[in-house]
């Protein structure tokens, strides 16, 4: 059924849940995993790389080269953090007996995930879903929604666990069961 599974990850806390679901599925099916992290300014914690696109322009405007060096160092740290995450998860998959590869690409997350899956001949994409809706989804977009509508293969979304507020939890305990 599913032999090649693409696991789309970011550095958020939901990434661990996505990986665990994909690993369990790969173990059960004897499938291979490929872990993908897309470097994007949309990701939380991503540094601003606009200065790096044309440093000569900004230097010509009188911007300090120190600022450009700092921006480049921040970006390099972000890239390395993504690679460390991928390597750590790939090691866990290998230790669990699952064949695993990893890759990191720069681009628009939804489009990059779909193109990588299509060109790589993947059977399934496993991706996290934060549950954005309304204005948040309108302005920030939803990578998982894009992938669901544009992927050339099946997509499994893993919802990030939502913790109920204390008042909701208290109401749930008091509410009579039917």
* Residue 176 or 159, more confident: 159
Question: Does residue 15 sit within a domain?
Answer: yes
**123-125-129 Cα angle (round to 5):** 160
Pairing of strands 124-129, 100-106: unpaired
Question: Does residue 171 sit within a domain?
Answer: no
Q: What range defines the domain where residue 8 resides? A: 4-158
Secondary structure letter of residue 2 according to DSSP: -
Question: Does residue 176 sit within a domain?
Answer: no
Cβ neighbors of 57 (< 8 A, separation 6 or more) are: none
3-class DSSP state of 93: helix
The structural domain count of the chain equals 1
Residue 108: CATH number of its domain: 3.40.50.620
Pairing of strands 100-106, 32-39: parallel
pLDDT tens for 18-67 read: 999 999 999 999 999 999 999 998 888 888 777 666 656 556 666 677 87
Question: Does residue 167 sit within a domain?
Answer: no
Question: Does residue 174 sit within a domain?
Answer: no
Question: Does residue 170 sit within a domain?
Answer: no
């Amino acid at each position: 059924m599913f032999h090649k599974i693409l696991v789309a990850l970011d550095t958020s806390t939901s990434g661990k849940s996505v990986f665990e679901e994909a690993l369990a599925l790969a173990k059960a099916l004897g499938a291979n995993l490929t872990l993908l992290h897309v470097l994007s300014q949309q990701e939380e914690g991503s540094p601003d790389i606009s200065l790096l696109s044309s440093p000569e322009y900004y230097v010509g405007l009188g911007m300090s080269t120190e600022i450009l060096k700092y921006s480049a160092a921040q970006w390099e740290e972000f890239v390395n953090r993504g690679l460390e995450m991928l390597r750590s998860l790939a090691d866990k998959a290998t230790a669990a007996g699952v064949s695993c590869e990893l890759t990191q690409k720069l681009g628009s997350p939804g489009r990059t995930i779909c193109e990588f899956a299509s060109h790589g001949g993947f059977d399934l994409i496993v991706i996290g879903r934060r549950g954005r809706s309304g204005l948040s989804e309108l302005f920030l977009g939803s990578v998982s929604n894009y992938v669901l509508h544009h992927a050339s293969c099946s997509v499994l979304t893993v919802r990030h666990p939502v913790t109920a507020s204390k008042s909701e939890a208290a109401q749930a305990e008091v509410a009579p069961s039917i």
